[in-house]
Amino acid sequence: MTRLGETLLALAGAAAVLALAYAVPWLRFVLTIALAKGLAVLGILLLLRAGQVSFGHALYLALAAYGIAFGTMAVPEALVLIPGAALLSGLVGLVIGLFVVRYREIFFGMLNLALSMVFYSVLEKFYAVTHGADGIRLGPVTYLGRPLAGEAAEWAVLAVALGLALAFGALVRVALASPLGEALAGIKTRETRLDFMGVSPRRVLLAAYVASAVMAGCGGAIIALTTRHVTPAIAYWTTSGELVFIAILGGAGSVLGPFLGAAAYELTRVYAAALVANAWQMVLGLVLLAVIVFAPGGLWGMIARRRPA
Amino acid sequence: MSWLSENGLLVGLALLDGLSYAAAVFMVAVGLNLVFGVLRVLNVAHGSLYAIGGYAAASLGLFVASLGAPPWAGLPVLLAAAVLVGAILGPLIERLLLRRMQDREPVLQLLVTFALFMILEDLQKLVWGVQPVVFDAPLKWLGTVDVPFGTDVIPFTAYQLYVLPGVALATLAGLAYVLRFTLVGRMVVAVTVDREAARALGIDAAKVTLLTFTAGAALAALGGALAAPTVSLVPGVGASTIVLSFAVVATAGLGQVEGAAVAALLIGLGRSFAVYVAPEFEVVVPYAIMVAVLLFRPQGLFGVAETRRI
């Protein structure tokens, strides 16, 4: 699909989100969460391009979400909190990244998993600071200095999420077409050849890793501002698995895939939970299986195939 | 040394606890490792097999007991439940799902097992509910043993002292023997090392894969069945087991049987000492050990570094 086609589709998608959120008020919450997860999955997409799967990116979601929760106690301004939370995730991502980019495949995935589980248990066990499994309620938040609540706050978060999604989507689109993106794909095919060309695979992967941490941080920040309550569950490894799930569901072929996948995932989850309360996870599992077996390109692959560029 | 004499009981208890815990973890991790060897997929659903093995053992045990069977019957029931789960679910999963995915991208294969994990988790909730299931007849029947430790005596259940480590040791010895000295075992090793070359030698790789996956599933179920009398089974036990076994496998190095035993012991003891000394860190310790090992040996304690291909 051409760049123009993708841009138009992205704008049409954004308009559809706004229209849906206006027409069906309860969807506003679902769509904001979907955009937030889509942002995090955008980072997963970068790593997938290099053939690496992280089973631990819930760590960066949780870092930012808790960062926001603690941050509201000091600075209640959302437009300061969100960049701050993303920066926190990025910095931790840089430190951890320096360590994990030395590993590939299973070891890369497992080390990420391990570190996120360590953070999960810290959140759960240090009750005095984090209130354990009860989690923390967010304090009041202002948007551009205006204290918003209720519906107005929901619209504000949705607008921020949409803006971030469009901005990061465009950025990742550019990055994937740049030499950096080509080098990432090179890590997947044959890393040693990158070495021979004088490109450091580790540095390339580190750049992608930090970027993915920042995007997951943005996602986590928006989740915290939407749910207004953060619990350790956001750091659990199944959350990380969910992100990889969405990446495959949406399709790794385009930056629109993650958002498409996240919307489909959240909607499936809402309806499955309403229809079969005890088996929503099973429904999601069956959907994932069906996608992998019948539509390996994900939802995006199905759209792109029908409308060849 | 004064700390040790004051807390001697604690150390002894942690040692015994760690040993029995390591035994159960080893059963699960070694199966995971074997399956990874031939399939090259880290089976996320392996933890669900552990949970289902535990639940099946508890159900079967309670059923047999309700028929008026003597208390010793609990032990063979545990074994039977594990074999049953492995023999039914193992071939089903391998044949219907994993075999079809063989030539697909590794990421997709991993995700298939993740989907399977999600399905099995809910299936198990639908069958056994969310209330804890308890079956401790074998534990009660065997009673406790007084273990001398220095000047102290520690009462410990005979089941955790003899049965759990005993079965784990037998499994370790059995696997080591089969993989080294029998034709089937050599075939499994051959497929693990180089699938293509093994097939060129006339080994039916598909059959070996099916066999290994079934054995791995049965081992996971056996781990769950053996642990069932010592814990109460609740939803989510599969999820926590699988991440722990990942840690054991990564620490040991992929494809290592004896290594998995050492890593399970290391992590089992580490965890049980944490339980007694610093309970907040119980969940962290296994990962801390794994990270520390991978920092110095990126391929795991006993893993072999892969040669660079150009």
- The more confidently predicted of residues B164 and B150 is B164
* CATH, residue B233: 1.10.3470
Residues A245, B111: contact at Cβ < 8 Å? yes
- Which of B91, B256, B131, B138 lies closest to B189 in space, CA to CA? B256
Note the residue count of chain A. Answer: 309
The string of pLDDT tens digits covering residues B103-133 is: 888 778 888 898 899 899 889 888 888 788 7
Angle at A172 between CA A86 and CA A213, to 5 degrees: 30
Under a CB-based contact definition with an 8 Å cutoff, are residues B260 and B142 in contact?
no
Question: Averaged over A43-61, what is the pLDDT?
Answer: 91
- First-to-last CA distance in chain B? 55
Are A190 and B298 a contacting pair at CB < 8 A?
no
Q: Evaluate whether residue B153 is within a structural domain.
A: yes
Closest CB from A113, A238, A278 relative to B122: A278
Relative orientation angle of helices B237-252 and B284-296, to the nearest 10 degrees: 20
Helices assigned H by DSSP within B101-163 = 106-128, 137-142, 158
Inter-chain CB proximity B309 and A190 less than 8 Å? yes
Cβ <8 Å between A292 and B112: yes
Q: Quick: pLDDT tens for B201-239.
A: 999 989 999 999 999 999 999 999 888 888 777 777 887
CA distances from A118 to B21, B223, B290 (A): 20, 25, 12
B302 in a domain, yes or no? no
Q: Give CA separation, B173 vs A35, B168, B228, in Å.
A: 53, 9, 23
Asked whether the beta carbons of A46 and A258 are under 8 A apart, the reply is no
The verdict on a CB contact (< 8 Å) between B287 and A114 is yes
Considering only CB atoms, A121 lies closest to which of B106, B114, B283, namely B283
Task: Flag whether the ipTM exceeds 0.85.
Answer: no
Question: Quick count: other Cβ atoms within 10 Å of Cβ A32?
Answer: 26
Q: What residues in B contact A288, CB-CB < 8 Å? A: 111, 114-115, 118
Report yes or no on B303 lying in a domain: no
Angle at A113 between CA A107 and CA A118, to 5 degrees: 125
Distance of CA B60 to the CA centre of its chain: 20
Most confident of A31-45, A273-287, B1-15, B284-298: A31-45
| Structure tokens belonging to residue B191 | 């497929």
Highest-confidence range of A212-216, A289-293, B276-280, by mean pLDDT? A212-216
Confidence of residue A252 (pLDDT cuts 50, 70, 90): confident
The answer to which of A174-178, B104-108, B196-200 has the lowest mean pLDDT is B104-108
- Number of domains chain B contains: 1
Q: Which pLDDT score is estimated for A88?
A: 94
Mean pLDDT within B263-292: 85
Show Cβ contacts of residue A198 under 8 Å, excluding neighbours closer than 6 positions: none
Print burial letters for B111-133: b (CB count within 10 Å at least 16), e (below 16): bbbbbbbbbbbbbbbeebeeeeb
Specify the range with the lowest mean pLDDT, choosing from B29-38, B45-54, B110-119, B133-142: B133-142
What residue spans define the domains of chain A?
A: 7-236
Please state the rounded mean pLDDT for residues B288-310: 74
Best mutation target among B32, B33, B114 (most A Cβ atoms within 10 Å) is B114
pLDDT of B140 strictly over 70: yes
Q: Is B122's CB within 8 Å of A282's CB?
A: yes
Residue in A45, A100, A105, A110 to test binding to B, most B beta-carbons within 10 Å: A110
Q: How many Å is the Cα radius of gyration of chain B?
A: 20
pLDDT of residue A306: 60
Q: Look over chain B and give the mean of its residue pLDDT values, rounded to a whole number.
A: 84
Q: Is B42 on the interface with A (CB under 8 A)?
A: yes
Q: Is B305 part of a structural domain of the chain?
A: no
Residue-wise pLDDT tens digits, A296-306: 788 888 877 66
**CB distance A282–B42 less than 8 Å?**
no
Closest approach of chain A CAs to the CA of B115, in angstroms? 4
**Global pTM value:** 0.85
Binary contact (B111, A105; C-beta < 8 A)? no
Share of chain A above pLDDT 70, in %: 98
- Partners of A122 on chain B (C-beta within 8 Å) are 284
Model pLDDT, residue B310? 45
- The confidence band for B146, taking pLDDT boundaries of 50, 70 and 90, is confident
Q: State the Cα–Cα distance between residues B43 and B32, nearest whole angstrom.
A: 7
Judged by CB atoms closer than 8 Å, whether chains meet at B111 and A103 is answered as: no
Contact list, B107 vs chain A (CB under 8 Å): 48, 51, 53, 244, 248
Over 60: is that where the pLDDT of A309 sits?
no
Whether B57 maps to a domain, the answer reads yes
A112-137: buried (b, 16+ CB within 10 Å) or exposed (e) per residue? bbbbbbbbbbbbbbeeeebbeeebbe
Q: Which amino acid is at B51?
A: A
- What residues of chain B, 200 to 259, have a C-beta less than 8 Å from chain A? 239, 243, 246-247, 250, 254
Position with higher pLDDT, B200 vs B161: B200
Query: Taking CA atoms, what residue in B is nearest to A96?
Result: B291
Q: Is B123 on the interface with A (CB under 8 A)?
A: yes
Per-residue pLDDT at B11: 80
Q: To the nearest whole percent, how much of chain A has pLDDT over 90?
A: 28
Report which of residues A217 and B258 the model is more confident about. A217
For residue A40, the model assigns a pLDDT of: 94
| Nearest beta carbon to residue B122 from set A244, A279, A289 | A279
The Cα A51–Cα A176 span in angstroms is: 14
Which residue of A lies nearest to B238 if distances are taken between CA atoms?
A: A238
